[in-house]
Amino acid sequence: MAIWNGKVLNLCFLWLLVSTVLLNGADCHSWKKSKLPKPCRNLVLYFHDIIYNGKNAENATSALVAAPEGANLTIMTGNNHFGNLAVFDDPITLDNNLHSPPVGRAQGFYFYDMKNTFSSWLGFTFVLNSTDYKGTITFNGADPILVKYRDISVVGGTGDFLMARGIATINTDAYEGDVYFRLRVNITLYECY
């Protein structure tokens, strides 16, 4: 049952015309848009993930904790890592240098969820604790890794980022085999308190 079929669209279009003339504003049930507020805050941060592979316990910042039947937890699964779930506590830096002084920790989980390509899903929080930022920002969303820039949702925040909403545009800034990756996170907030 397509809800955007011809009839609905036509009615919708008519109503749009009428309401634009009479009410000085579009009011079609299925399409009513609000004006997007201007972004109120923008942050660019990097985080660095080093996954445990059985040999790097000292440096690792994340570990596989779940995998499909037959897999183990020190080697990524073959089907584009499908089903691998990792828990992480990664340093956040202001630039792309792993050894820069961290401004906080990215904490959460990701898992790979496609068999025929690399793609993941993220649930994590930036726990920021520096001179400039104190508070948390929480993110949720699909991360189609092979797309250069992909957006996930900012679903909440605390402290300096109380009630934050918006999006984060992620790109993979570096990737070294299955062990290390670095994400650049460009956060655009539309609600700031």
Site for its own copies in 55-84 (CB under 8 A): 63-69, 72-74, 82-84
Nearer to its own copies, 24 or 193 (CB): 193
Among 12, 15, 19, 40, interactor with its own copies by CB under 8 A = 40
Q: Nearest approach, Cβ of 83 to its own copies (angstroms)? A: 5
Query: Which pair of structure tokens corresponds to residue 49?
Result: 């993930």
Cβ-proximal residues to 51 (8 Å cutoff; 6+ apart), any chain: 60, 61, 62, 63, 64, 86, 178, 179, 180
Question: How many Å apart are CA 131 and CA 117, to the nearest integer?
Answer: 40
Q: Report the site for its own copies in 73-132 (rule: CB under 8 A).
A: 73-74, 82-85, 87-89, 94-96, 107-109, 111-115, 119, 121, 123-125, 127, 132
Q: Are 65 and 85 in contact (CB under 8 A)?
A: yes
Q: Report the site for its own copies in 13-32 (rule: CB under 8 A).
A: 29-32
Ranges of H-type helices in the chain? 6-23
Question: How many Å apart are CA 35 and CA 37, to the nearest integer?
Answer: 6
Nearer to its own copies, 14 or 147 (CB): 147
Q: Nearest approach, Cβ of 168 to its own copies (angstroms)? A: 9
Among 15, 16, 56, 165, interactor with its own copies by CB under 8 A = 165
Does 51 bind its own copies (CB under 8 A)? Our answer is: no
Does 172 bind its own copies (CB under 8 A)? Our answer is: no
**Element counts in the chain: helices (H) and strands (E):** 1, 9
Question: How many Å apart are CA 12 and CA 5, to the nearest integer?
Answer: 11
Q: Nearest approach, Cβ of 94 to its own copies (angstroms)? A: 5
